[in-house]
Amino acid sequence: MLTNAKKEFIEFMMSADVLRFGEFKTKSGRLSPYFVNTGNYRTGEQISKLGEFYAACIKETLGEDFDAMFGPAYKGIPLVTSAAGALAREYGINKPYFFNRKEAKDHGEGGSLVGYQPKDGDRVIIIEDVITAGTAVRETVPVLKAAAEVGVTDMFISVNRCEVGQNPGKTAVMEVKDEFGITVHAIVTAEDIHEYLQGKPEYENVLKLMEDYMAKYCVF
């Protein structure tokens, strides 16, 4: 159901040119009529507001029931930083955050993780932008498990595209749950975006393309 909060987030993404319509090739090689590029957030106000949307989703879902927040390089880095700041600022939930380097550093403090160093038994949540095929999660979990015996229970993303993953009939989100036991929480879903566009005559063509794409690739 398209709530006011979801509608506000969709309009926020559109105003920042993060949610775009056209023809885009996704990481999975599919030609999509819409694309979410969090790399297009460019201002302090935008990244601050984005953190508030993530923080609200985390607060509503988990409250304080986790130990640390992880943002996978590269796009996850500003997302986890902003979300951690917003949680502290808006709700008084002060949690450590960390992220990884693409290449391990062999000087200074060394290692591939920056910020909080996870400990055995920590419950870690992942902050990401979108899931299309689940590739990024498969790269991220081994990084975390190599650092400590952590539990990775939940992941927060901007948009769940609801697309089939590597197995017919299952979305990437379902696969991530089956494979890693991680529950993915999205601020909005492809269905929410579709419902939002239904009320906008200027997006009639996009709506048709989106419906065709969803019929082909999405599982609800």
Q: What is the mean pLDDT of residues 36-48?
A: 95
DSSP string, 31-49: EEEEEE-GGG--SHHHHHH
What DSSP state is assigned to residue 206? H
Please list the active-site residues: 105, 107
CA distances from residue 91 to 3, 75, 85 in whole angstroms, order as listed: 21, 24, 10
Q: Is the confidence at residue 50, as pLDDT, over 70?
A: yes
Q: Which residue has the tokens 């709700």?
A: 91
Which helix (H) or strand (E) segment is 128 a member of?
Answer: none
Q: Is the confidence at residue 181, as pLDDT, over 90?
A: yes
Q: Is the confidence at residue 199, as pLDDT, over 70?
A: yes
Cα–Cα distance for residue pair 68/168, rounded to 1 Å: 34
Q: Is the confidence at residue 219, as pLDDT, over 50?
A: yes
Least confident of 2-6, 29-33, 135-139, 161-165: 135-139
Task: Say what the pLDDT of residue 28 is.
Answer: 77
Cα–Cα distance for residue pair 217/149, rounded to 1 Å: 35
**Which one, of 219, 194, 220, 218, lies nearest residue 207 by Cα?**
194
Cα–Cα distance for residue pair 54/86, rounded to 1 Å: 8
**Which domains are present in the chain?**
4-217 (3.40.50.2020)
Task: Say what the pLDDT of residue 136 is.
Answer: 81
Q: Is the confidence at residue 189, as pLDDT, over 60?
A: yes
Task: Say what the pLDDT of residue 155 is.
Answer: 97
Strands, E assignment, 83-172: 97-105, 111-115, 123-127, 130-131, 151-160
State whether residue 157 is helix, strand or coil: strand
For the segment 96-117, what is each residue's pLDDT rounded down to a tens digit?
999 998 766 554 454 689 999 9
40-72: burial string, b at 16+ Cβ within 10 Å, e else: ebeeeebbebbbbbbbbbbeeebeeebbbbbbb
Asked if omega into 97 is within 30° of 0 (cis), the reply is no
Task: Say what the pLDDT of residue 110 is.
Answer: 47
Higher local confidence (pLDDT), 186 or 105: 186
Average pLDDT, the chain: 92
**Percent of the chain beyond pLDDT 90?**
79
Task: Say what the pLDDT of residue 108 is.
Answer: 47
Task: Say what the pLDDT of residue 106 is.
Answer: 55
Task: Say what the pLDDT of residue 27 is.
Answer: 76
Q: What is the pTM of this model?
A: 0.92
Task: Say what the pLDDT of residue 64 is.
Answer: 96
Residue 130 banded pLDDT, cuts 50, 70, 90? confident
Q: What is the mean pLDDT of residues 33-47?
A: 94
**Which one, of 57, 47, 15, 2, lies nearest residue 197 by Cα?**
2
Cα–Cα distance for residue pair 112/101, rounded to 1 Å: 5
**Percent of the chain beyond pLDDT 70?**
96
Q: What is the mean pLDDT of residues 49-69?
A: 98
Task: Say what the pLDDT of residue 33 is.
Answer: 95
